[in-house]
Amino acid sequence: MVEPQPEVRWAPLPPRPRNRGRLWLIVGLVVAALVIVGLLLFFLLPRDGAPAPGGSASPSPSATTSPSASPSTPNAPSEGATPDPTPLTTPPPVGDPSLEVFRDKVGGWLTAAERGLDIVDENRNQDALPVVDSLQEDAQRLGDAVPPSSIQDAWRSGVETYADRLTALRTALESDSGVSGALDSARSAVAELRSVAGF
């Protein structure tokens, strides 16, 4: 007996699931990795490579100047030597400052001197010593400031007087005697400096 065979009928196959989500995920990860690598190269390579172009750029101008300088050797060294010394020699020479520029420079220190002496007058004890120390530092700055030649001698002697009176004030505060007289002397020295500077 022959067994009946099942009938074969054509039926459409079920559609395969689409993997677009996975594909986009893979593409996104690859793009992100490339961006990270690009950023690392951008930030790391210029630092390591910056000296090389600078080094290669400096020989090339010297190479170009040396052939052009070979026919006329006396002109090229003077041109090459002129730019380098000019920046070095230009800043050091300090001209005679105007009185207005000098006033702008020392005005803050003189104002701070008056305020500091007021603070010392209010305290008149060991707590005022740091204020006097600060005033002595400002007196040093006043001495380092370059005055116009028209007031140079008066300014220098005035700053020396002020510094001496600050030392006397510090001694008076430490010994707690004669503070009033030392304060008045220091204030008159500041007033004298202000008049010399034209305030």
Each residue of 71-121: pLDDT tens digit?
Answer: 444 444 444 444 555 444 444 445 677 778 888 888 888 888 888 888 888
Q: Is 67 exposed, middle or buried (0-12, 13-18, 19+ CB in 10 A)?
A: exposed
Cβ(73)–Cβ(116) below 8 Å: no
Give the separation between CA 197 and CA 199, rounded to whole angstroms: 6
Lookup: tokens for 28 = 């996104």
pLDDT for residue 2: 67
